[in-house]
Amino acid sequence: MRIPYETPPTLGREFIELAPEIVAAILLTLSAGWQQACSAADVNADAGEVLMTERLRDGMRGALKNSPWKLIVLPGTESRSKSSVMLPDGRTDIPLMMIEVFLRTQEHDPHAIIECKRIAGSDTHLCREYIVEGVDRFVSGKYGENHAVGFMIGYVLSGTPTAAAAGVNAYLSRVSRTSDHLVLSTIIDSPTWYSRHARAKPLSPIDLHHAFFGFADVAEAARDLASE
């Protein structure tokens, strides 16, 4: 059966839409990758964002070894927001390629982009950075200019994932952007969030899926598994 990675072709540069099944596959791969990442002694709330992202990337690759999903996890790389931009104007954290999308479109640029940020619901600076240096890169077209879907990961330094999402929404309310609020999603069993953002170009909005990963729950689950 053909996996519905995207909508039918359009004129001009291919506009890449991801079916719900593929969004779920990416979120599940991220979750499984984070569990593997947290087995490393250097992954904790004091670790740097780059180290955590590299561990997450390795964990995702490990999780995909026995997976039916044909995802390719690329290294972080400099990127150009548009084909007309000659010098790189961004650096993507975790780009993904999908074999079927490439075979159909010959699109060499990433087919999905995951942006990673440190977050804590009680830290107003980190909540602002999550939006300004994360979400808004998708909104402006700096990342995923021809994508209908993007992904955000928050490394929860303190508090809970729910508190992290609430902190981000509190910042959005303070800057009069309530239409950009994160809402709880049911696309996979574990909690993730979803937001939709208007863009000037292309005219269609971008949908962002957010997962907030903490440390305590993963460590506790690993201890429980070891004790069985």
pLDDT band at 216 (very low <50, low <70, confident <90, very high): low
**pLDDT recorded at residue 114:** 97
**pLDDT recorded at residue 102:** 79
**pLDDT recorded at residue 83:** 57
Both tokens of residue 196? Answer: 């939709």
Residue 121, C-beta contacts closer than 8 angstroms, at least 6 positions apart:
127, 159, 160, 162, 163, 164, 165, 166, 167, 168, 170
**Angle between the 216-227 and 20-37 helix axes, to the nearest 10 degrees?**
70
CA distances, 107 to each of 15, 55, 102, 152, 171 (Å): 10, 27, 5, 22, 36
For 41-99, what is each residue's pLDDT tens digit? 999 999 999 999 999 999 999 999 988 988 999 987 654 445 555 444 457 899 999 88
Average pLDDT of the chain to the nearest whole number: 85
Average pLDDT over residues 165-184: 98
**pLDDT recorded at residue 60:** 97
